[in-house]
Amino acid sequence: MVDMLAIETPEQPRPPETDTNAAFQLVATMFVKYVQIFRKLEQCYDQIVHPQKRRLIRTVLDGCMGRVLELKHEMISMDFSEYHYFDDILADLKLTPNDLEIPIPNYFVLERAQAIEKR
């Protein structure tokens, strides 16, 4: 997360990117890294037993999900397509397509089951 913070808020502002492909690659790389962070946070939230830490991790997890959605919408507005190919980024980061899969957080499923049960 510290790496992503350094990328998103550099000490000196970067000049605007004129090449649309380079700008898309930057946003797509950030998207892939945020998905990795999301997967790790979701696993951490699922495994931790301390209630105070769980609440904090959930707040961070919700923020991370929001950022993933923001980046996805930004990619859609840049590329005018809902389907993107991350083959080159995955190869650079030495990841597989399975690493890019976004899981449904378990607390969504559990909260939904509890809401249905109350009905």
Q: What is the pLDDT along the chain (119 residues), one digit of tens a residue?
A: 767 767 777 777 777 778 888 889 999 999 999 999 999 999 999 999 999 999 999 999 999 999 999 999 999 999 888 888 899 999 999 999 999 999 888 888 888 888 888 87
Query: What's the pTM?
Result: 0.84
Which residues are CB-neighbours of 54 under 8 A, at least 6 positions away?
45, 48
Angle at the Cα of 60 from the Cα atoms of 43 and 15, rounded to 5 degrees: 115
Residues 90, 91, 93, 97: what is their CA dihedral angle, to the nearest 10 degrees?
30
